[in-house]
Amino acid sequence: MGCICSSEEDPDAPTVPYPKKESTQGQTAKSSQDMSTLDLSKSNDVIDFEAMVMDSLRVMFLSSIMQNPRRHKDTTTLIIKENMLATFPAGIRNFTSLRTFDCSMNRLEELPSEIGLLVSLTILDANDNSLTKLPDDIGNLGYRLEKLFLYKNNITTLPDSICNLSALKEFNLFNNKIIKLPTKLSNLHNMVELNLADNKLKTTPDLSGFTTLNRLALFNNNLVLLPPLSKLGNLEKLEIYRNKLESLPNMSELDNLQEFQVTNNLVKELPTNIGSFQALTTIEAARNQLTSIPDSVLELKELTKLMLSENQVLTNQRWTNSSCNTCLSDHCASLRIVSAAPENSRRLLKPS
């Protein structure tokens, strides 16, 4: 429902005075949208939220709408993003059929415990707020919640109840302040994409339960140690660049790995079995402490991108790019990308 009618038109309309914008054709179209969607965002362009200077007035206005259980029992999508809210409006418990809730791009410091009552919720988007923690009750969403977006907040820890979200497939915590993860996080066996990048992690708990994971993003942390990744057989993209890793974890059996990004660490050697990762198209290992690369790299038939700049690699090996017949051992300092078409990538690097 994109249009909020006046009290003369609708007896359930809020009694709190609020500034309206002049009617346009676009707004008329929004007023006819599916009644299962309640869009109270700034981008709705029907209510002039910017004229409500005080946060309390904005919260009062939204609460007056949301606190009507009869009106919202069939609402499946609720959007309150971009309203500069510092306080969560009352009435969320009335949305018993809600499947998608977007409260992103506000100034919220916490989510209410009532969020755990939304047991039909499949998508929760609270990105770009000022959240410092999550309510324990969020674990009550375990059977339905599939996507949880919490990036660009100030979260430092996660409640153990987060491990109850058994249906979760996509979990984005990019750009927070997390220093430690729950020990049973990999109990989330349906996870497909996990983004923990740009936090303050030094290590992670066991990750072996993430057997369905396609993408693991851990870049921009303080990682010094990672647990074995050998059980992540469906992993396609591993992003662990910009950390403090001196060695790599066990990476055996990553048969579906396509992109391996480990730039800006302290790694001294790549996995000796890297040639068994036959799906690899990209290896980015620049700015490490590599002195050589395994000969098994020659077995990577799909490899099209190899980044090794600012290493000591090739000083003890002479490698030739067969496509241009240029000896790379004398140009290690300038080596950035070696590439070839996929059909020629078996001949990408050739010992001279």
SS (H, E, C) the chain: CCCCCCCCCCCCCCCCCCCECCCCHHHHHHHCCCCCEEECCHHHCCECHHHCCCHHHHHHHHHHHHCCHHHHCCCCEEECCCCCCCCCCCCHHHCCCCCEEECCCCCCCCCCHHHHHCCCCCEEECCCCCCCCCCHHHHHHCCCCCEEECCCCCCCCCCHHHHHCCCCCEEECCCCCCCCCCCCHHHCCCCCEEECCCCCCCCCCCCCCCCCCCEEECCCCCCCCCCCCCCCCCCCEEECCCCCCCCCCCCCCCCCCCEEECCCCCCCCCCCCHHHCCCCCEEECCCCCCCCCCHHHHHCCCCCEEECCCCCCCCCCCEEECCCCEECHHHHHHCCCECCCHHHHHHCCEEC
Q: What is the mean pLDDT of residues 92-113?
A: 95
Model-level pTM greater than 0.85? no
The pLDDT tens digits of the residues spanning 109-142 come to 999 999 999 999 999 999 999 999 999 999 999 8
- Cα dihedral sign, 185-186-191-193: positive
Q: What is the mean pLDDT of residues 181-209?
A: 97
Please indicate whether residue 295 or residue 32 has the higher confidence score (pLDDT).
295
pLDDT higher than threshold 60 for residue 314: no
Q: Which of 69-83, 258-272, 292-306, 338-352 has the lowest mean pLDDT?
A: 338-352
pLDDT band at 28 (very low <50, low <70, confident <90, very high): very low
Q: What is the mean pLDDT of residues 93-110?
A: 95
Q: What is the mean pLDDT of residues 256-260?
A: 98
pLDDT higher than threshold 50 for residue 35: yes
pLDDT higher than threshold 60 for residue 24: no
pLDDT higher than threshold 90 for residue 212: yes
pLDDT band at 160 (very low <50, low <70, confident <90, very high): very high
